[in-house]
């Protein structure tokens, strides 16, 4: 007598295996995306400090070892940069692009510092390297009569030197107006906000119309007295705060959305 065939019950839960695999892969994907979106904030600052130190010490414009270290390698507890975070196959390309940008900005910094040596010595201009890029700070006392947005014609040779340096690179330029904390209320300007923005626009128009800097590269901002670089309770401090900063932005600055902070 033949044995009765054993009837196998269909497994209705096999889909859980595929579903679990899918969830695991999805989780891994989001972890990778999150990690790749994190920018090493210390990288740009270390690059800037290394470049500025090298230039001050009279080194050549080649990439200093400190900069090369920041541009590559893995992230450690000291916050060193990680070129591999740009994705498979993109590390060398990303590092090369960063090196090229650092070199270009280093040349511009050295050129500006040399060409504006007299203005820097007289306290009319300050040139510095920051995590955002090169900052050329134009002092109000030299470039604008008090309470106005009319650029002094005697400062055109200085602005021409700046324009020559801007033409040597393709980076965007942000023109930022700043005032001291003394309130202003005139028929033309109702507040320091309006005065700071108007002065930034005035410098933009000079660079664009007179020295033919492409307007697509330029942007303006007026900060009033909100980003002070010195105390406002002394005449000297207020004089430092009255300025227009020309920021030659680097790629790090272009990816950030945080508000500007005083150096």
Q: Are residues 149 and 173 in the same domain?
A: yes
* pLDDT score recorded for residue 80: 45
28 within domain boundaries: no
CATH number at residue 152: 3.30.1330.60
Q: Are residues 179 and 80 in the same domain?
A: no
Residue 209: DSSP 8-state: I
* pLDDT score recorded for residue 144: 96
User: What mean pLDDT, rounded, does the chain reach?
Assistant: 77
Q: Are residues 74 and 136 in the same domain?
A: no
Q: Pick 228 or 11 by higher pLDDT.
A: 228
Q: What's the whole-model pTM score?
A: 0.64
Which of residues 53, 80, 103 is at a domain's end? 103
CA distance readout (Å), 61 to 109, 111, 230, 247: 10, 11, 32, 20
Please give the helix or strand (H or E) that residue 136 lies within, else none.
strand 133-139
Residue 242: DSSP 8-state: S
Q: What would the pLDDT profile of 38-87 be if each residue is shown by its tens digit?
A: 545 455 555 556 555 554 554 434 444 444 444 444 444 444 444 444 45
Structure tokens at 176: 């930022």
Scanning the structure block, which residue is given the tokens 């021409």? 160
* pLDDT score recorded for residue 59: 40
Which of residues 103, 130, 151 is at a domain's end? 103
pLDDT above 90 covers a percentage of the chain that reads: 48
Number of structural domains in the chain: 2
Q: Where in the sequence is the domain holding 85, given as residue range(s)?
A: 38-103
**Res. 13 pLDDT band, cuts 50 70 90:** low
15 within domain boundaries: no
The answer on pLDDT for 177 being more than 70 is yes
Q: Pick 19 or 242 by higher pLDDT.
A: 242
Q: Are residues 179 and 82 in the same domain?
A: no
Instruction: Return contacts of 166-170, CB within 8 angstroms, 24+ apart.
Output: 166/207, 166/213, 166/217, 166/246, 166/248, 167/213, 168/104, 168/107, 168/108, 168/111, 169/104, 169/105, 169/108, 169/248, 170/217
Q: Are residues 164 and 135 in the same domain?
A: yes
* pLDDT score recorded for residue 126: 95
The answer on pLDDT for 124 being more than 60 is yes
pLDDT above 70 covers a percentage of the chain that reads: 60
* pLDDT score recorded for residue 23: 74
* pLDDT score recorded for residue 119: 94
Instruction: Tell me if 197 sits within 8 A of 179, measured CB to CB.
Output: no
Q: Are residues 99 and 120 in the same domain?
A: no
Q: Are residues 79 and 152 in the same domain?
A: no
* pLDDT score recorded for residue 24: 72
* pLDDT score recorded for residue 131: 86
Q: Are residues 138 and 215 in the same domain?
A: yes
Q: Are residues 165 and 218 in the same domain?
A: yes
């Amino acid at each position: 007598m033949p044995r009765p065939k054993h009837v196998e019950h269909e497994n209705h839960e096999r889909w859980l295996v595929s579903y679990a695999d899918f969830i695991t892969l999805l989780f891994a994907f989001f972890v990778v995306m999150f990690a790749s979106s994190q920018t090493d904030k210390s990288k740009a600052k270390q690059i800037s400090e290394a470049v500025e130190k090298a230039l001050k010490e009279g080194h050549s414009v080649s990439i200093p070892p400190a900069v090369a270290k920041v541009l590559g390698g893995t992230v450690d507890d000291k916050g060193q940069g990680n070129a591999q975070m740009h994705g498979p196959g993109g590390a060398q390309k990303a590092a090369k692009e960063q090196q090229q940008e650092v070199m270009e900005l280093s040349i511009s910094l050295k050129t500006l510092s040399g060409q504006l040596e007299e203005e820097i010595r007289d306290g009319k201009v300050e040139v510095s390297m920051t995590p955002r890029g090169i900052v050329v700070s134009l002092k109000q006392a030299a470039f604008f009569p008090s309470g106005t947005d009319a650029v002094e014609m005697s400062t055109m040779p200085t602005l021409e030197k700046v324009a020559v340096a801007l033409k040597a690179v393709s980076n965007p330029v942000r023109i930022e107006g700043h005032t001291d904390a003394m309130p202003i209320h005139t028929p033309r300007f109702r507040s320091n906000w309006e005065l700071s923005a108007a002065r930034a626009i005035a410098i933009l128009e000079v660079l664009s119309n007179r020295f033919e800097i492409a307007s697509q590269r330029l942007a303006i901002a007026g900060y009033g007295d909100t980003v002070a670089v010195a105390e406002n309770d002394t005449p000297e401090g207020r004089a430092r705060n009255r300025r227009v900063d020309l920021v030659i932005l680097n790629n790090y600055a272009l990816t950030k959305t945080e508000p500007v902070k005083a150096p």
